[in-house]
Amino acid sequence: MSAEIHIPTLAPEVVFHIGNINVTNTMVNVWIAILIFLVLGIFVKRAAKLRPGKLQNTCEFFLEGVLGYFDQVTGDRKKTIRFLPVVGSIFFFILLSNWLGLLPGTGSILVGHTMLLRPANTDLNLTLSMAIISVLASHAYAFAAIGFFSHVGKFVQFGNLLKSIKKGPIAIFTAIIEFAVGLIEIVSEIAKIVSLSLRLFGNIFAGEVLISVISALVAVLVPTPFMLLELLVGLIQATVFAMLTIVYLTVASSEPHGAEEH
């Protein structure tokens, strides 16, 4: 008797409805992750002391490790702490969501013909939302750090184009090049969103399909190495997404090239 292979679809599946809201299996995993963070946060807050206990020590150990990695990008602990609420939240959420997708029952418990649990980051809507938040946060921090007009000037340089008309053909040509570079920068911001979202979605979805197929064909022992590999992939993908986000934040909040000399 052969096991039925349930191959995940690209789109998440609707498990139930709350009013007019469709609740998908990836949303269930998101809620579980949020609940875990909420409970952990409550326990850590209640256990916080000058002489930390085991839970506080463990959390501080992981936090110090994350801060150390972020410092390698920012080069400044103050900047790291400023960016931590956004980047740290993204890192730990992606990491926990990826690892929750490896729990027993994920991809195997069915409600009718629908999987009840599915890794959250196999939903392109979620990865796209996080990518948009990442890029928008970089612009928000840039506005706060260097000012609205200085940051917008990296992309839109109409002023230089108008001023160059009185300075001759070389100045006009230079201004046109600068204007074109600004347009390319705008395209690059869109490319960041596409790259971040598709990279995370593609890797986690591919891992889910692989484990689903292997588990259906051989349910004992054989899937274990692949699940261990997915633990590593989940950590790597969370690290890559977070590190790219902090790179975007650091670069965006830096003064434009040549501003110091000016």
Rounded-to-integer distance, Cα 252 and Cα 196, Å: 17
Q: How many whole angstroms separate alpha carbon 96 and alpha carbon 94? A: 6
Domain-embedded: residue 241: yes
Instruction: Please indicate, yes or no, if residue 2 is contained in any of the structural domains.
Output: no
Domain span holding position 216: 14-252
Query: Among residues 84, 192, 80, 204, which one has the least CA distance to residue 131?
Result: 192
Tens of pLDDT, residue by residue over 99-157, are 988 777 676 677 777 777 888 999 999 999 999 999 999 999 999 988 888 888 778 76
Rounded to whole angstroms, how far apart are CA atoms 219 and 228? Answer: 15
**Is residue 73 over pLDDT 60?**
yes
Answer yes or no: is 91 within a domain. Answer: yes
Q: Across residues 152-165, what is the average pLDDT?
A: 66
Compute the C-alpha angle 89/10/242, nearest 5°: 20
Please tell me the distance from the alpha carbon of residue 239 to that of residue 233, in angstroms, as a whole number. 10
Specify the higher pLDDT residue, 224 or 25: 25
pLDDT at 2: 43
- The DSSP secondary structure of 20-70, one letter per residue, reads TEEEEHHHHHHHHHHHHHHHHHHHHHHH--SS--HHHHHHHHHHHHHHHHH
Q: Please say whether the beta carbons of 246 and 145 come within 8 A.
A: no
Q: Is residue 170 part of a domain?
A: yes
pLDDT at 262 (0 to 100):
43
Residue 5 located in a structural domain = no
Task: Assign 206 a pLDDT band (cuts: 50, 70, 90).
Answer: confident
The model's pTM is: 0.84
pLDDT value of residue 1: 39
Q: Residue 132 domain-assigned?
A: yes
Structure tokens at 158: 């109409």
Residues 31-64: tens digit of each pLDDT: 999 999 999 989 888 888 878 888 888 888 888 8
pLDDT at 172: 67
User: Looking at the domain assignment, is residue 83 inside a domain?
Assistant: yes
Check: CB of residue 107 under 8 Å from CB of residue 115: yes
H helices of 101-222, where? Answer: 124-146, 148-152, 158-164, 169-217
Q: Can you give the pLDDT at residue 254?
A: 82
pLDDT at 209: 80
Query: How many structural domains is the chain composed of?
Result: 1
The predicted structure's pLDDT at residue 256: 64
The reply to whether 260 falls in a domain is no
Please give the mean pLDDT across all residues of the chain.
82
CA distance 142 to 152: 9
